[in-house]
A = this chain, B = another copy of it.
Amino acid sequence: MTQLATAPRARSGGRQARRALRTAPKFDMLPGLTGKIPLCEVMDGAQVERIDNASMDILENVGVQFRDPIALEDWKKAGAKVEGELVYLDRGLVRELIKTIPSDFTYHARDPKKNVRLGGRHSIFVPMTGAPFLRDLDDVRRNPTLDDLAMFHKLSHMMPALHSSAHHIVEPYDHPISQRHLRITYSSMKHSDKTFMGMTTSPKNAEDVMDMCAILFGEEFMETHPVTTGNCNGNSPLVWDETMLGAMRAFCRRNQPVLCSPFVLGGANTPASVPATVAQLNAEALSALAYTQVIRKGAPAIYGHYLSTVSMKSGAPMAGTPEISLMNFMIGQMARYYGVPWRTSNTLGGAKTFDAQAGYESATTLQAVMHAGANYIWHSAGWNEAGMHCSTAKFIVDAEQCAMAYRMAEGPKWGDFDQALSAVPDVGPGGHYLGHPHTQENFQEAFFMPDMFDNNSIEQWVAEGSVEITERALNHARKLLSEYQEPTLDIAKNEELLDYIARREREIPAADELNQDY
């Protein structure tokens, strides 16, 4: 059990604690979620084994391409059959390797009170990353800067249901690409004391992130404590490339968890079948998960994926479709079958503006990943236009939606059931509860009141200026930013980080072509 999982929750501490909670700043982070609702398991045991068996057949007979000489050498030493770049993985070897992946672990934050647990029923919400554009505080779509990135790190710090400030939520275009990972990492570390992600845009960049984490947390601490996470995308079908594998090694060697994420465009790079897509994705994820244990036995790792289906009319990736929900349910079952924490993507969508399409896509995805029981719920705020832009307005609304989903996943609260029931005879047929002491004492705890939804009458809404959700959310973002307080970063560590960045920026040519973004 982690510190957080056993820490007393303010809300269970009676009247005074509840009152304190009501008046507390609303941007206190929610503890990592411990889900309590039953999960949506759409496969029976035989079907889970059918997927497992199909994936193992793929690994044994079709093989996986590791486009990386070091990985190929590693695999040979580990006893795999290697032919050219193709690695054939025996199911016995795969099972032996993945069994040393921890089934859950604590992900450490700069502020230990914000440590979170991952695995089993423990989940976290992480904002979107990687957007080449943003829609800013005026809803204008443009290329982002380091200041924009800092803004999103500040908002991540303040939104209660976000458990991470991630990394390059938006790509800071005002800084050379080859040096960008340094500024991104520093921005994550400085503007928030929640967990954050590490860049994996190249093996060298990943090493820089590891070095910066060592400054912040201590080299030795990292050896036994995950303090960041890196994402490594696969090239489906069945390919892992040198950039991703090199970054994976940088993280695994320092005991830092990697998200092993096949990149699925269902129907384009997988078969046109939900179970067969899951079987291929599962084979891909297993091959990378197994490799993490070749790199370092016992290193934490996360079963990942990026999941879309493809429109056969336009070739465009889709989100919020029923098959994506079903595949999430199934992948959750597979990850639990192997006992490995798993990552999914939240609030995906292809809408160009923050319109109703964006709302449907995001909410459908959010609900699916909650019922699927995902642990590392990435892209939980801001994603729009297939990830091409991060919307400031949507960031705020998504983050509140996560808080609502969090509440749902906790299940009904029975603590005051008898007390609440005793209000029924007090009020009696035809009465009302608003003035009853139990109502007055408990309403805020009982029913979530979303700030971003307007539920007033149209007359009142018009009288208040007909403010739609985009404007409401942007107003809220401005208010949050005006109240932002930077969490104090140790002065010595801060200087050491800045020195490191300065040194590396002297060493890395600003136009280094080896440092391509992914």
Q: Which residues of A contact B (CB under 8 A)?
A: 36-38, 40-43, 47, 50, 54, 57-58, 61-65, 86, 141, 235, 237-239, 266-276, 278-280, 309-314, 316-323, 325-326, 329-330, 349-364, 366-368, 371, 385-386, 388, 394, 397, 401, 404-408, 411-414, 416-417, 420-421, 423-425, 427-434, 436, 438-439, 441-450, 452-458, 461, 466, 468-470
Contacts and interface: CB of A to CB of B under 8 A. Distances in A.
B360 A446 contact: no
Contacts of A407: 322-323
Contacts of A141: 458
Given A429-B65, A449-B313, A449-B318, A420 B273 contact: yes
A312 B385 CA distance: 35
A448 B290 CA distance: 33
Contacts of A65: 429-430
A356 B272 contact: no
Contacts of A448: 309, 321-323
A146 to B, nearest CB: 24
A354 B441 CA distance: 35
A357 to B, nearest CB: 4
Contacts of A428: 62, 237-238
A441 B272 CA distance: 9
Contacts of A353: 468
Given A273-B417, A411-B326, A428-B238, A443 B267 contact: yes
Given A271-B439, A449-B312, A360 B412 contact: no
Contact of A397 (B54, B270, B356, B394): B356
Q: Give the most central of A40, A317, A429, A442: most B CB within 10 Å.
A: A429
Contact of A469 (B50, B320, B355, B458): B355
16 contacts: A42-B411, A62-B429, A64-B429, A317-B455, A322-B408, A323-B446, A326-B412, A350-B454, A351-B454, A355-B468, A357-B468, A359-B360, A359-B362, A360-B362, A361-B453, A364-B367
Contact of A352 (B349, B452, B461): B461
A65 B429 CA distance: 6
What 3 A-B pairs have minimum CB-CB distances, sorted nearest first?
A359-B359, A273-B420, A276-B420
A54 to B, nearest CB: 6
B444 A312 contact: yes
Contact of A442 (B42, B58, B273): B273
Nearest to A329: B37
A264 to B, nearest CB: 11
B312 A421 contact: no
A371 B40 contact: yes
A508 B40 CA distance: 53
A357 B322 contact: no
- Between A237, A279, A433, A454, the greatest number of chain B beta carbons within 10 A of the residue's beta carbon is seen for A433
A274 B363 contact: no
A274 B352 contact: no
A238 to B, nearest CB: 4
B318 A455 contact: yes
Contacts of A388: 457-458
Nearest to A444: B312
Nearest to A423: B271
Contacts of A356: 354-356, 358-359, 394, 397, 469-470
Given A434-B268, A442-B272, A237 B454 contact: no
Contacts of A405: 322
Contact of A421 (B279, B320, B447, B470): B279
A466 B447 CA distance: 38
Contact of A438 (B62, B271, B420): B271
Given A38-B40, A438-B272, A404 B455 contact: no
Contact of A432 (B268, B320, B354, B360): B268
A317 B447 CA distance: 11
* From A385, A443, A454, residue with most partner B Cβ within 10 Å: A443
A214 to B, nearest CB: 36
